[in-house]
Amino acid sequence: MSSQVCLRLYEREHEQNALDGAFISAASGNGNAVFIIGSAGLGKTSLLRSAQIRNSRKAEAIYYQGHPVEASLPFAVLDRMFAGMTNALSAPPTDRLGTSEHSLLVHELALLELRTRADRPTVYLLDDLHWADSDSLRILTYLARRISDLPVSLIGAMRSWPPGASRMAETLNAQSEAALLRLEELTFSATHDLLGDLVGRVRAPQFVGRAYTLSGGNPLLVTEAARQVAASGTLPHASERTEGNLRQTLLLSHLSGLPSQSIVVAGASAVLGAQSRIRAVEELCGFAPDDFADAIDSLLATGVLTCEDDCLRFRHDLLAAALLDEMPKGRLRLLHTRAFEYYRSLQDPHSASAHAVAASMVGDKHAIDALKAVGNHALSTGAVGTAVHQLGHAVRFAGQHADTDLLVSYGDALLASGNAPDARTAYHDALRQLPEAGERMPLLARQAVATAYAGRLREALGLFELITQEFGTAVSAETGLEYAYTAWVLDGPNAGLDALARATAATEEHREYVGARMLCQLHTGRAVDLSQIEDLARETWRLGQPGSRTATVSFNPFLIVAVSYYMLERYTDAIEVAELGINYWTNANAPLYAAALRLTRMAALFSQGDLHALMRDAEEAAPEMSPLTEPYFWILRAGALIWSGHTEDAAQLLNQVPQMVGSEAFFVDAYLRDARGQLYLAAGDPASALHEYRALEEKCFRLGIGHAGLPAWVGNALEAYVAAGCPADVRRLVASLEESQQPGRQNRVAMVPQAGRAALAAAADEDRAAEEFYQSALALDVAAPLDRLRIRLRYGRWLRQRHRTKAARGILARALSDADAAGLHGLSTELHGELVAAGGRRRRSDTAAHLTTQQRRVAVLAVEGTTAREIARQLSVSVRTVESHLSAVYRTLGISSRAQLRTITQDGTIDLSVD
């Protein structure tokens, strides 16, 4: 508990208004989430409690306070919020597929509980959320995004460390899903006023300077300084101020003069946590009943501890932390060991396991069994983060004696969490203990999947081939699909089709194979039955509804449909299906499958020319990337940087891709060559770009992939061939694309040949034909804005060279405006140069009209070189507000730095003047 709620909360008016707003939102049926981050002692608990008192008539408040032990318990916060909700998950699954299903079930149950209990406005006050387990934080993130139409608000308070909760709050805030408040220390003035409330206005001035120096403006430590003033009439000198001395001040203030047995009892309470059962504390101390009772009475009398419902609680957990810091390490370990034995005797492995870890009980069979039991239970309920934590400690404690079941469970938890390399190691260690072939098959399949996602594709493919050959009809459909997926990624779509054929021969035909086969055929450039894609698309929409499930495999309906739509250049549809899949697999706690869909979404955004959205996605997706997906992620980021004009940064990213574990994959090589080709074109080196695209064409031809199978790169290849002056390459590419066109379809494969023929006609001085082909290409309704812009650039340049400057200016000016709006600064520079050569000038952009007056003022000062702090001073706002305004300006104008803002202001592109 923090300092007394009845005291005035100095310099917390903004925070109190925000919390009151959360109660009002709940009362109006439009809930929201508010999170408070602050160091210990800054008054987080007081803020929550005072808000609860002030708003008691507006909404029911349900208060929860976190506990260090709960950091290792599955869904501990949810159990406290919803009174044992996760007991509904009592039937454990038998394999890793069930883990995802149970994770989905927890999400659905949590939202159902929230809706069911919201018969009246309710606000959940979640204190000390930094102790929350990672799985509860994942569910809270899910709930925070779904309460805007419910009479429910969430208010969470936390420290910045452990970082899980604060990262959750920062992510939700960045996505405008929650408000974020950061508590600061009190100013000298507020410290003076608070000290005056505590020791009297007459005495305060003589102590305030030293109290402020000692406390650093921390309200709790100001209170402790006041306590010491009241007790002894003095304070330590400022020169003695260190963190250790501050904590020592706390100890002296509360424990000075207490019997030694009371200090022992306080230490035992600290070991058990911020709140602990009296019986447990007594067991750890081992005192005679009368001595223990006297020790407890003295601690209660001095206010060190409080007692409620047979539980002891420290006045503030900083007191407990100070005691633990002062305790000798041997004594601390002994008490944790006693606590483990006590909870084990009560058959409470969840409580026991935390103390086993704290005592580092390496080699202790009972500790290993407790950790294993808790970890397996967590895995069975979809609490993957907790499972990894508990099972990891069990494996470490067991060392070389870790049994097969433990290693397999640990591998399952690691793979479900997205840590494929360590999962591969765990499965490998388990396989060494299984001599029987029949027992090895399911584990071999798991190891093959982990090996693939660890980026070791050739090794994984060998394992899948071994499984198919040795176990025949015993191979599951899921294993067959993973086999095909690995072959597809490594050696291209024909290899995927061959793997599907082998899997089908070894097992029965499964309906899941149909979608995988269709996607591989689409990648080869063959015509497919589009009705099959639409059937699968309808299934993805069904899977987006609560209660629907699909197999946990890489070739899942979401990925198949999203990639198929991307191949068909239906980018908006691809993005929508990818978002459905990302939500599904995120809720299923399956980041490996969500990552592939994030890449698909990013690729579709790139093809749409929405680089700003792509970079936002990249920032959010980065933590989910595995060794298998990381190369594609870097390539996509590099592509966005190239078109944004940051070619040096892009080159650094691309240079690192070949050293990555998963870089041997066919698709990595294909997309890497395309990105390098784009980089060379941006750098004015068409000869090097020519080399990359010739190599890419040759490899696709060798693997039987038509140009229509990888449409994203054909426009870049054409540009390289034209820029390098290689008409033979242009003719070859155009002829191949025209052969693969499907009648009536308007897409990139239809547009690029028209542009190629225009370039050939222009080179042959066939002006009429060139113009007809340029206009024909641009008349097609094709969702490929980057290719279209480059065609418009070439068309405008050709018109200028033919001295048709007026027509050229019209084409180039409109193209430049579109490139500026999309943030394509590299292309904008080239377009601007052509426009100037044609006698035109950059049109003044009207995007600045979307800026607010305050944003304009901030932008003007930034252009002048004023620092953020000085801007804040001049405009009487905070530095954070200035930074927020600048981010909005960059986003609106399609730029990313002050330098770019200065450039487009000085060249007249935008007008930032304030009326």
- Over range 409-418, report the average pLDDT: 94
Q: What are phi and psi of 64, to 5 degrees?
A: -135, 135
- Over range 229-241, report the average pLDDT: 64
What is the rounded CA–CA span in Å between residue 53 and residue 7? 13
Residue 72 pLDDT class (50, 70, 90 cuts): confident
Residue 612 pLDDT class (50, 70, 90 cuts): confident
pLDDT surpasses 50 at 429: yes
pLDDT surpasses 60 at 211: yes
Q: Copy the structure tokens of residue 784.
A: 């490929």
209 and 182 Cβ atoms separated by less than 8 Å:
no
pLDDT surpasses 80 at 850: no
Q: Which tens digit of pLDDT belongs to each residue from 300-320?
A: 988 888 898 888 988 777 788
Q: Which tens digit of pLDDT belongs to each residue from 326-348?
A: 889 999 999 999 999 999 999 99
- What pLDDT score was predicted for residue 182? 93
- What pLDDT score was predicted for residue 95? 42
What is the rounded CA–CA span in Å between residue 588 and residue 575? 20
3 and 220 Cβ atoms separated by less than 8 Å:
yes
Report CA-CA distances (Å) from 349 to 103, 224, 339, 368. Answer: 22, 38, 11, 10
Helix (H) or strand (E) holding 694: helix 686-702
Mean pLDDT value across the chain: 86
Contacts of 901 (CB under 8 A, 6+ apart): 859, 862, 863, 889, 890, 893, 895
31 and 150 Cβ atoms separated by less than 8 Å:
yes
pLDDT surpasses 50 at 154: yes
What is the rounded CA–CA span in Å between residue 274 and residue 321? 9
Q: Position 488: which residue type?
A: W
Residue 85 gets which letter from DSSP? G
What is the rounded CA–CA span in Å between residue 111 and residue 146? 8
Report CA-CA distances (Å) from 855 to 68, 94, 174. Answer: 44, 57, 19
Report CA-CA distances (Å) from 154 to 36, 76, 178. Answer: 11, 16, 9
According to DSSP, the β-strands at 275-277 and 311-314 are antiparallel
Q: Which tens digit of pLDDT belongs to each residue from 770-783?
A: 999 999 999 988 87
What is the rounded CA–CA span in Å between residue 915 and residue 909? 18
pLDDT surpasses 90 at 506: no
pLDDT surpasses 60 at 40: yes
Angle between helix 630-643 and 647-656 (nearest 10): 160
Closest C-alpha to 111, from 644, 687, 547: 547
Q: What are phi and psi of 382, to 5 degrees?
A: 85, 10
607 and 716 Cβ atoms separated by less than 8 Å:
no
Q: Position 341: which residue type?
A: E
59 and 123 Cβ atoms separated by less than 8 Å:
yes
What is the rounded CA–CA span in Å between residue 274 and residue 66? 9
Residue 873 pLDDT class (50, 70, 90 cuts): confident
- The three-state secondary structure class of 274 is coil
Helix (H) or strand (E) holding 275: strand 275-277
Q: Which tens digit of pLDDT belongs to each residue from 810-848?
A: 999 999 888 887 878 888 888 989 999 999 876 655 566
Residue 316 gets which letter from DSSP? S
pLDDT surpasses 90 at 514: no
pLDDT surpasses 70 at 246: no
Residue 93 pLDDT class (50, 70, 90 cuts): very low
Residue 543 pLDDT class (50, 70, 90 cuts): confident
Greatest extent of the chain over all pairs of C-alpha atoms, in Å:
108
Closest C-alpha to 758, from 776, 745, 741: 776
Q: Which tens digit of pLDDT belongs to each residue from 369-392?
A: 999 999 998 888 888 999 999 999
Query: Is 892 exposed, middle or buried, given 0-12, 13-18 or 19+ CB atoms closer than 10 A?
Result: middle
- Over range 528-537, report the average pLDDT: 84
Angle between helix 477-491 and 511-523 (nearest 10): 10
- As a whole-number percent, the residues of the chain with pLDDT over 90 amount to 48
